[in-house]
Structure 1
Amino acid sequence: MRDPSNSRLRPSPALMVALLALVVAMGGTSYAAVSLSKNSVMSKHIKNGQVKGADLKNNAVSGAKVKDGSLSAADFGSALPAGATGPAGPAGPKGDTGAKGETGATGPAGPQGIPGPVDTITIVDSSGLITPGSFGSASVDCPAGMEAIAGGVDLANVLTMAVTGSAPIIEGNRTLLTSNGQHPAATGWRASARNDSAGTNYTFKVAVVCAG
């Protein structure tokens, strides 16, 4: 015979199924559809840094919606054109003196300069003889170590004689035989003359002024 007290304490299978369904329903995923009114979401409702470029509609942000002075050149990338060149800045401080460079190669020798003051001046002369109707020449040299700075010729008869040449001696040659250009100092003097008389021999003298 069944005990009545045991029947009252044991749940029926139907009750067990109902309780299991209730637990599953309460523990499952729930969903609620919420409808927001226009302009109901404000800046204070959005966490900083959460709105991305992809969240904005194309051309949604115009110049009128950007605060003046809030954008920098970095916000434009390469699309920002270069500005006008600014004025030159003030000169910087003078730099330190650089290291001394290497000594350059010796240059070519320059032309001989004008002779400077001299300690001694002397005159040396020499005579020549010219027969009637002919020419003659004579030369004179300065002492060793001295230079010829002037010269001339003197005729015995200026009525029948004529000077045909008078020039310094350069490097041992007549001036006529030297090349054009600058030369070392002269070392003597040479002169030539003509005797136009009919029957008389005449002399002439060449003199050179030497300095050294």
Structure 2
Amino acid sequence: MASHSIRSRLTYANVVATLALVVAMGGTGAYAAQLGKNTVASKQVKNNSLTGKDIKDGKLTGADVAKDSLTGAQVKESTLGPVPNASKLGGQPAAVFNRNSKQVKGTFTEGNPLVAPVGPFGSVHLFCDDKNTVGNLTDDVMGLGYQINTGPSGVAMQRAAFSPTPLTPPTWVLYNSFTSGSGTSVDKNSHVFSEWYLSNATGSLAYLARMWGYNDSGAFGCNGIIEVTRMH
């Protein structure tokens, strides 16, 4: 009875559909069974058919990427580490690292010294003494002054040359290192020259200051130049 019921429902369309399904499944399985391990190559893959989910995470390397094919648009900046040596900036503005020399120059008189700041370490200055003879243009003398503080274990060193007249051989003096103080290093000479080296305890911040001064016989007062250069 059951057999008669099945045969009564069996049609040509049912038979064809069933055979097509069997052939399709059997053919796919047979083709897949013929594929050995590591046998699928580029020619078996349809172009532009693979997506990111088809590739296992972490398996692509730099060798898989064409040279110069990535741009900033493909890079997430927040994932990048610091640029080499950028840590030396320490968050300070670029102007702090400008190594160009800065000069102050001109005529200076008694009570109005020529002053130059030396970074965070204070200042150096040239001062003039008119020897209480305001009308005399040739007897003015000058000295080297400073107001320095390099911090704990910092360094402040100076060497200086001075001469009472243009024709007199200069006398050189090397001053010992100290960390802070103010005063006069060379006093009352016609011509003076000095170099200062100032740095913090580690040497990561250092300045060189050069000073030249002379009696300006053509005008009342003294004349000079102070040049300050950041070394590092």
Normalized per residue, the structure richer in strand is: 2
User: Relative CO higher for 1 or 2, CA cutoff 8 Å, sep ≥ 6?
Assistant: 1
Q: TM-score range by the shorter chain?
A: under 0.3
- As a proportion of its length, which structure holds more helix? 2
Alignment TM-score, normalising by the size of structure 2:
0.24
